[in-house]
Structure 1
Amino acid sequence: MAEVNVNLDAHSYTIHITTGGISRVGELMSKLSLGNKILIVTDDNVCPLYAATLSGSLVAAGFKPTVLAVTPGESSKSLTTANTVFTEAIASGLDRKSAIIALGGGVVGDLAGFVAASYLRGVPFIQVPTTLLAQVDSSVGGKTAVNHELGKNLIGAFYQPRMVAIDPQVLDTLNDRELKAGLAEVVKYGVIADSDFFTYLQDNASALLARDPVVLTHVIGKCCQIKANIVAQDERESSLRMILNFGHTIGHAIEAEGGYSEYNHGEGVAIGMHAAALISQHAGLCEQSQVTALKKLLNRLDLPLTAPGYHPKELVRYLVRDKKVLNGKVNWVLMSQIGHVEITHEITEDTIAAVLEQVT
């Protein structure tokens, strides 16, 4: 077992990374002084694969789990679905020591975390991520949210889990498209924080696509460590943590314009990273060679660079409603070189328009 500690004083917790780890969740949770009633929130895809194993682990440790499966996909990140989860929590008699477990990908994690942050003004929350994207990114750091029809993740809270249990073995049941979506977030970590890690990804792109277990486990641990270090310095995204949004501003706009169905989150982020790199180059912050290196790696991982047929003016509508907008200006996370980014709001509308034309 590998462990990564997220150091946040009273809100500190451990990320446990181990093959077969779902069968150990009950044992790990028994050390957290929780109540015995547990609500597992999952979706209809993951439930038949792993809910029984997780429930069995909890029962063996003395817990009494209830399982609620929601519809898979971004549409479940809504206040309507959240209310369904609240109702189940109330009906199941969850109290303030009862934990809510997210068993699934980023949608389930965000939804269950939002409910955990709100139910009885906050109950313990456990992340058991089953997609690569959730394992390397969304399960760590305490961002929880649901979407609004006018934008993504606009209704939410910072609410740290008590524990994250990552089982790389579950990626064996992940489809290729979702695996690649997670790899987009993996690439992000190399760009924002570690050029050596970026080089490792270049050298191991084929192994990642082939699901080499050693390479995947190393990558998961590395991404978790990078994110843990950033979150420990800036839990509530007041400064440094904003760099984790590299590629997400335009990426979220593309997701929303496609009705959260044409491009998934990782694909949106890949296009968004390409756009952010182009904006960086237009603004004189980085060299063409850096943009080329990013594009080549995204291509090797079979991730999209553009969203053909989308209209720049439509995407701009989402940019101005992005949660990273302050005083009417977007805080752009831009690349100065692989391994280092900076935050600026001094980007002209002409530059943004020109880049949006390039990626649509």
Structure 2
Amino acid sequence: MTRPRRPVAVLIGPPGSGKTTVGRILADAFDVAFRDTDEDVEQVAGKPITEIFVDDGEPAFRALERAAVATALREHDGVLALGGGAVLDEVTQTALAQYASTGGAIVFLDVSLSHAAPRVGFNQSRPLLLGNPRARWASLMEARRPVYERVATLQVLTDGLEPQAVAQQIGQHRLRGQPADRTVVDRQGAAHMTSTPPAPTRVTVRGAAPYDVVIGRNLLGELPGLLGDKVRRVLVMHPASLAATGEAIRADLGEQGYEAFAVELPDAEEQKTAQVAAFCWGVLGQADFTRSDAIVSVGGGATTDLAGFVAATWLRGIKVVHVPTTLLAMVDAAVGGKTGINTAEGKNLVGSFHPPAGVLCDLATLESLDRWDLVAGLAEVVKTGFIADPRILELVEEHHAALREWKGADATPQTWAVLAELVERSVAVKARVVGEDLTEQGLREILNYGHTFGHAIELVERYQWRHGAAVAVGMVFVAELARLAGKLDDDVVARHRAILDSLGLPTSYRGDRWEQLLAAMRRDKKSRGDLLRFVVLDDVAKPVRLEGPDPTLLAAAYAEVSKEPATGNPGVPVQLG
């Protein structure tokens, strides 16, 4: 019996994903012909696609495209590339589903905006991208992504890969029936991950005492290496909500020959008090901890702050290794050596600089992280984008929907890949800054972007606001302040609001607390005497310091972020609990 004619593989994806280039390479590898339905449409119509749109309208083009796809699926037995919007047609979706049901491979070439832009050029040959091409591309991709992922039997994340490598991955999967690399996702079976997990990423924080931030999954085996071979006793400090995790780490260290202890702490900011620190000192003393011993913190930013402070002050300094379990702690609190506890007068007013011996950012701990805790942590990620790494902002703009609707263990592999890149980039920014300026004499102050006003909100709200929510409002405040001071363009200020709004983070605050907020800012660590100091931007990735701004500018900036009723942004639950 003659085998029915059908394509070897069908490539789908947005403009700039490389369907034509990869398709030709793949066709050569399989010794078959390559076919592009856009070219078929132009041949039938006798004119370019742009002219079809102008002369006949998009519905006419879609009708021609639907017919071209149906014909190619029926007649072509090589590699077939579809136009970016072809999969939106319900008739085409049915035809593709029938093709897939017979074993056909439908490959979604996934790509980010920054990688697609150079390939596409966003020129006149792309009628749907005219006007504001980057915004149009992002909007189209957001709308089409669910369809691409639903239709595809295979997904390839193409960022950073040469077309030859993409084609090779498709070919290996097509021939062997399994993913060839972690960037290939099987959308029909359970094979969403490779049998060999990727090696963890290591970001080194330079300085007098360099240390590594290790980012990956299943990293517990890295802990002894960070502790070093001289440590005998280890105190594992963890909040009550992570009792099982803390005990598991303590037991594992015990099995590896350490004399391991554990201390349970109150949850969240309640642990950052002098009384809790004194309790921990008592435990260290009773267990005869010496300068050769160490502390391991397991928890969020409050735990890394407290554990670092206890380590810095016990015998004037012992080792500490942080195992952050929240996004906020991974990208901010655990890295950089800032430690501290709170007082009635303000946040982190008592503390020291004490770099850790290492940090383990195990992304698997984020699988169970509350959706809004992850979103709040993204505020610190966005901060590093505005002060140093614009690529972070692009990633958030491209994937804000998946990040805002965080699904933890059920998140797609593509969302996990984006989150991992955001963590790596944010940590790299902080590592570079603190490596050059540990004690905040100059450069490190840029990491306080949005924090002066944000810390004031936290104090006024008695620490019942999530830190990331407060910092989000703080970033909008300093963006408005910079605009009023003539430093920042309107579009960058608008971008602050747009990105934070897209994540569900607050961008405004109640309008009846200015005196309390001003008093709190004057007590901030970054102030010098009565001189208020703010980190502001001249542009994205161009932070500068603004000292002693005119009081009328401060009040005007506050007016821009205040609103009634005094409830904050209804999107993210800004309060704890």
What TM-score range do you get, normalising by the shorter chain?
A: over 0.9
Q: What is residue 355 of structure 1 aligned with on the other side?
A: 557
Kindly report which structure 2 residues correspond to 1:188-207, keeping only aligned pairs within 5 A, or say none: 188-207=383-402
**Mapped contact 1:26–1:61 kept (Cα < 8 A):** no
**Mapped contact 1:207–1:215 kept (Cα < 8 A):** no
User: What is the deviation of 1:78?
Assistant: 1.0
Q: What is residue 296 of structure 1 aligned with on the other side?
A: 498
**Mapped contact 1:198–1:338 kept (Cα < 8 A):** no
Secondary structure (helix, strand or coil) at the match of 2:241 reads: coil
User: What is the deviation of 1:42?
Assistant: 0.7
Secondary structure (helix, strand or coil) at the match of 1:325 reads: coil
Secondary structure (helix, strand or coil) at the match of 2:332 reads: helix
Kindly report which structure 2 residues correspond to 1:18-33, keeping only aligned pairs within 5 A, or say none: 18-21=216-219, 23-29=220-226, 32-33=228-229
**Mapped contact 2:223–2:360 kept (Cα < 8 A):** no
Structure 1 residue ranges (4+ consecutive) displaced by more than 6 angstroms after TM superposition = none
Q: What is residue 3 of structure 1 aligned with on the other side?
A: 202
User: What is the deviation of 1:346?
Assistant: 3.9
Q: What is residue 265 of structure 1 aligned with on the other side?
A: 467
Secondary structure (helix, strand or coil) at the match of 2:509 reads: coil
Amino acid at match of 1:336: D
Secondary structure (helix, strand or coil) at the match of 1:42 reads: strand
User: What is the deviation of 1:16?
Assistant: 0.9
Kindly report which structure 2 residues correspond to 1:127-276, keeping only aligned pairs within 5 A, or say none: 127-209=322-404, 210=406, 211=411, 212-261=415-464, 263-276=465-478
**Mapped contact 2:511–2:559 kept (Cα < 8 A):** no
Give me the identity figure in percent. Answer: 32
More displaced 10-residue stretch of structure 1: 51-60 or 155-164: 51-60
RMSD, matched Cα: 1.4
Q: What is residue 97 of structure 1 aligned with on the other side?
A: 292
**Mapped contact 1:96–1:120 kept (Cα < 8 A):** yes
User: What is the deviation of 1:341?
Assistant: 1.3
- List per-residue Cα deviations over 1:299-357 (Å, max 9, x = no partner): 01110111225411111110110000013212210022122211120411111112223
Secondary structure (helix, strand or coil) at the match of 1:329 reads: coil
1:47 is aligned to 2:255: no
User: What is the deviation of 1:93?
Assistant: 1.8
Q: What is residue 302 of structure 2 aligned with on the other side?
A: 107
Distance, in Å, in 2 between the alignment partners of 1:158 and 1:81 is 19
Distance, in Å, in 2 between the alignment partners of 1:313 and 1:357 is 13
Distance 1:357 1:99, change over 3 A: same
**Mapped contact 2:395–2:418 kept (Cα < 8 A):** no
- List per-residue Cα deviations over 1:211-249 (Å, max 9, x = no partner): 522111111111111111111111111001000000000
Bigger radius of gyration among the two:
2
Secondary structure (helix, strand or coil) at the match of 2:310 reads: helix
**Mapped contact 1:27–1:57 kept (Cα < 8 A):** no
Q: What is residue 54 of structure 2 aligned with on the other side?
A: none
Distance, in Å, in 1 between the alignment partners of 2:239 and 2:435 is 30
Distance, in Å, in 2 between the alignment partners of 1:44 and 1:310 is 36
Distance, in Å, in 2 between the alignment partners of 1:202 and 1:55 is 40
Q: What is residue 10 of structure 2 aligned with on the other side?
A: none
Secondary structure (helix, strand or coil) at the match of 1:204 reads: helix
Secondary structure (helix, strand or coil) at the match of 2:290 reads: coil
Query: What are the ranges of 5 or more consecutive residues in structure 1 without an aligned counterpart?
Result: none
Secondary structure (helix, strand or coil) at the match of 1:303 reads: coil
Query: What are the ranges of 5 or more consecutive residues in structure 2 without an aligned counterpart?
Result: 1-199, 563-577
**Mapped contact 1:25–1:58 kept (Cα < 8 A):** no
More displaced 10-residue stretch of structure 1: 300-309 or 230-239: 300-309
Distance, in Å, in 2 between the alignment partners of 1:34 and 1:266 is 38
- List per-residue Cα deviations over 1:253-283 (Å, max 9, x = no partner): 000000001x111111001001011101111
More displaced 10-residue stretch of structure 1: 182-191 or 87-96: 87-96
1:326 is aligned to 2:541: no
Secondary structure (helix, strand or coil) at the match of 1:341 reads: strand
Equivalenced residue count is 355
Distance, in Å, in 1 between the alignment partners of 2:275 and 2:561 is 34
Amino acid at match of 1:28: G
Distance, in Å, in 2 between the alignment partners of 1:152 and 1:98 is 29
Secondary structure (helix, strand or coil) at the match of 1:33 reads: coil
Structure of greater relative contact order (alpha carbons < 8 Å, 6+ residues apart):
1
User: What is the deviation of 1:25?
Assistant: 4.2
Distance, in Å, in 1 between the alignment partners of 2:494 and 2:438 is 32
Secondary structure (helix, strand or coil) at the match of 1:323 reads: coil
- List per-residue Cα deviations over 1:153-206 (Å, max 9, x = no partner): 110000000011110110111112211111000000000002222112211222
With structure 1 as the length reference, what TM-score do the two structures score? Answer: 0.95
**Mapped contact 2:379–2:500 kept (Cα < 8 A):** yes
Distance, in Å, in 2 between the alignment partners of 1:25 and 1:256 is 37
**Mapped contact 1:4–1:224 kept (Cα < 8 A):** yes
Amino acid at match of 2:240: D
User: What is the deviation of 1:59?
Assistant: 2.1
